[in-house]
């Protein structure tokens, strides 16, 4: 079962990476906030892929899905 979390990274994530990830996102001053629904067991690999791509992860926090995304 997947859960949703918010990943905050330093700087702006490039458009090519955002299109590759297919994650919703928003830009806040000097950060990009990504929202991902993933199996908790897969999250470490996803975060490692972001750091391997040169991104610095500032925080990861679980979030409640919005009513429109609940199944």
Average pLDDT over residues 11-25: 85
DSSP assignment string, 6-71: EEEEESPPPHHHHHHHT-EEEEETTEEEEEEEE-TTTHHHHHHHHHHTT--EEEEEE-PPPGGG--
Task: Answer whether residue 14 shows pLDDT above 60.
Answer: yes
Task: Answer whether residue 70 shows pLDDT above 50.
Answer: no
pLDDT tens-digit series, residues 25-69: 888 888 889 888 888 888 899 999 989 988 899 999 888 765 544
> What is the value of pTM for the model shown?
0.63
Domains and CATH numbers, the chain: 3-63 (3.30.70.1150)
What does the pLDDT read at residue 1?
66
| Burial class of residue 69 in the structure, from the number of CB atoms within 10 Å of its CB (0-12 exposed, 13-18 middle, 19+ buried) | exposed
Query: For residues 60 and 6, is the Cβ–Cβ distance under 8 A?
Result: yes
């Amino acid at each position: 079962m997947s859960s949703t979390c918010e990943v905050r990274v330093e700087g702006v994530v490039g458009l090519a990476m955002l299109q590759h990830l297919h994650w919703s996102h928003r830009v806040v001053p000097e950060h990009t906030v990504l929202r991902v629904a993933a199996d908790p067991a897969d999250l470490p690999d996803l975060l490692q892929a972001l750091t391997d791509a040169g991104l610095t992860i500032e925080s990861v926090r679980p979030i409640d899905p919005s009513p429109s995304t609940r199944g």
